[in-house]
Amino acid sequence: MLTTLVSLVSLFLIPLRSYAAPSATSSAAPNPGATSTASLNSLAQSIGKAYFGSATDNPEFTDAAYLAILSDNAMFGQITPANAWKWDATEPEQGVFTFTQADQVAALAQGNGQLIRGHNCVWHQQLPTWVSSGNFTAAELTDIMTTHCTTILEHFKGDTCEWRLIAFDIVNEPFNDDGTFTSDVFFNTLGSSYIGTVLTAARAADPSTHLYINEFNLEFAGVKSTAMANLVSSLKSAGTPLDGIGFESHLIVGQVPTDFQQQLESFTALGVEVAVTELDIRMTLPVTDALLAQQQADYQSVVSACKAVSGCVGVTIWDYTDKFSWIPGAFAGQGAACPWDDNLVKKPAFDGIVAGLQS
Ligand code: 9MR
């Protein structure tokens, strides 16, 4: 009896709760959405880019509405596995390679006719402790690192798969913001030579995918981008295989660097291609119409910077929807960084991307 009463009361409470106290994000009227019906990848390819893409992650594949949008290859011609190809996911124990999750992303891309950007071989995060705390000698760690990357690259290389692995972030985030090398097990054991070593091993394993170093805060001139430029120059003059530099582009609404395009050009001048690899533009919540309008302008300026540089091959957003964005989990009080909202509805930022590809 009591249970029935509680259920009855809850039946009335649930609708009441959903209408009470509208959140600040949806105060008087709903925020404006996008108006364009364009398809981003088709548009990007029509102006000579290789793709417009999105990151994705395996737990999201159970969301049918999400997956339907992601799988539209006119909208997204490329996907990046946000987590499934990382070291902790693919070699959790030394010599034990697990490709179940990674293969799911590959199969999705293949089924959809989408390119993949591999992400990543060597990074100081999401690194199993058997690597980071193994106290290996330089020779041992060199072998561990090259075995890991060679195995991953050989597993996924284009020769053996129908889908195309267009690029691979071989080295991820090697620098601190002050331009010094990140103090991780690779740098601490091997010095900066680990970068050339792993790039060389990657080329041998898969001669066709484009080998990248991927980094954040290169989008404006400063000590970090200078350090990266010096690294590119020294790798190039040593004949080390290196094809591209990834500009992650985790940006803030109203603070897109004005020299973004010059930064892209300064790297293509060194003989590498560039790509915008992890674009999102976050805001301090709550969402307002003014912030959405600024975000629209910001997406447009990033995308038009890539458009203007012929060596900028494509743009990848770091998941397309706020529903699965990493931002709220990493930056308290911030979010709404993606072009689609939590309900998979296109935001004004979408129109900004379209305008950036068209203008
Ligand atoms: O999107 C990824 C998130 O799900 C992980 O929790 C996080 C762990 O650091 O990594 C995220 O992706 C990162 C990418 O691999 C490298 N550049 C920064 C991205 C955001 O942290």
For residue 354, what pLDDT band results from cuts at 50, 70 and 90?
very high
Q: Report the predicted TM-score, pTM, of the whole model to 2 decimal places.
A: 0.92
Q: Average pLDDT over the chain, rounded to whole?
A: 92
* Cβ contacts of 6 within 8 Å, gap of 6 or more: none
Q: What is the arithmetic mean of pLDDT over 53-66?
A: 98
Residue 30 confidence (pLDDT): 78
Q: Which atom of ligand 1 is least distant from the CA of 120?
A: 15
With the most atoms of ligand 1 within 8 angstroms of its CB, the residue from 54, 57, 83, 245 to mutate is 83
pLDDT tens-digit map of 190-199 = 999 999 999 9
Residue 31 confidence (pLDDT): 86
* Cα of 82 from ligand 1 centre, angstroms: 7
Q: Whose alpha carbon is nearest atom 13 of ligand 1?
A: 82
Cβ atoms 267, 306 nearer than 8 A: no
For residue 12, what pLDDT band results from cuts at 50, 70 and 90?
very low
Encode 234-268 in three state secondary structure. Answer: HHHHCCCCCCEEEECCEEECCCCCCCHHHHHHHHH
Q: What is the arithmetic mean of pLDDT over 147-162?
A: 88
> Which range among 28-37, 91-100, 106-115 shows the weakest confidence by mean pLDDT?
28-37
Q: Whose alpha carbon is nearest atom 20 of ligand 1?
A: 326
What phi and psi values does residue 183 have, to the nearest 5 degrees?
Answer: -85, 90
Residue 13 confidence (pLDDT): 34
Whose CA is closest to 282, among 317, 239, 233, 247? 317
* Cβ contacts of 341 within 8 Å, gap of 6 or more: 31, 321, 322, 323, 347
Residue 28 confidence (pLDDT): 56
Residue 233 confidence (pLDDT): 98
Residue 162 confidence (pLDDT): 65
Two structure tokens written together for 4: 């029935």
Around ligand 1, the residues with Cβ closer than 6 Å are: 82-83, 125-126, 172, 248, 278, 326
Residue 129 DSSP SS3: helix
Domains (range + CATH), the chain: 8-358 (3.20.20.80)
With the most atoms of ligand 1 within 8 angstroms of its CB, the residue from 80, 90, 121, 125 to mutate is 125
Calpha distance 269→115 (Å, rounded): 26
Q: Based on the number of CB atoms within 10 Å of its own CB, is 55 exposed (0-12), middle (13-18) or buried (19 or more)? A: buried
Residue 17 confidence (pLDDT): 29
pLDDT tens-digit map of 210-231 = 999 999 999 999 999 999 999 9
Q: What is the arithmetic mean of pLDDT over 244-264?
A: 98
Residue 173 confidence (pLDDT): 98
* Cα of 214 from ligand 1 centre, angstroms: 12
* Cβ contacts of 329 within 8 Å, gap of 6 or more: none
Exposure b/e, 253-275, CB count within 10 A at least 16 = b = beebbeebbebbbbbbebebbbb
Cβ atoms 105, 84 nearer than 8 A: yes
Residues designated catalytic:
173, 278
Residue 56 DSSP SS3: strand
* Cα of 139 from ligand 1 centre, angstroms: 29
Q: Which amino acid is at 98?
A: T
Residue 284 confidence (pLDDT): 98
Calpha distance 120→81 (Å, rounded): 9
* Cα of 325 from ligand 1 centre, angstroms: 10
Q: Whose alpha carbon is nearest atom 21 of ligand 1?
A: 326
Q: Which atom of ligand 1 is least distant from the CA of 125?
A: 9
Two structure tokens written together for 145: 């690192």
Residue 22 confidence (pLDDT): 37
pLDDT tens-digit map of 328-339 = 999 999 999 999
* Cα of 33 from ligand 1 centre, angstroms: 27
* Cα of 83 from ligand 1 centre, angstroms: 7
Calpha distance 24→296 (Å, rounded): 20
For residue 23, what pLDDT band results from cuts at 50, 70 and 90?
very low
Residue 5 confidence (pLDDT): 35
With the most atoms of ligand 1 within 8 angstroms of its CB, the residue from 172, 250, 326, 338 to mutate is 326
> Which has more pLDDT, 1 or 302?
302
Strand runs (DSSP E) across 226-351, as ranges?
A: 244-247, 250-252, 273-284, 312-317, 334-335
CA 47 to each of CA 10, 62, 177: distance values in angstroms, whole numbers, following the listed order: 55, 33, 33
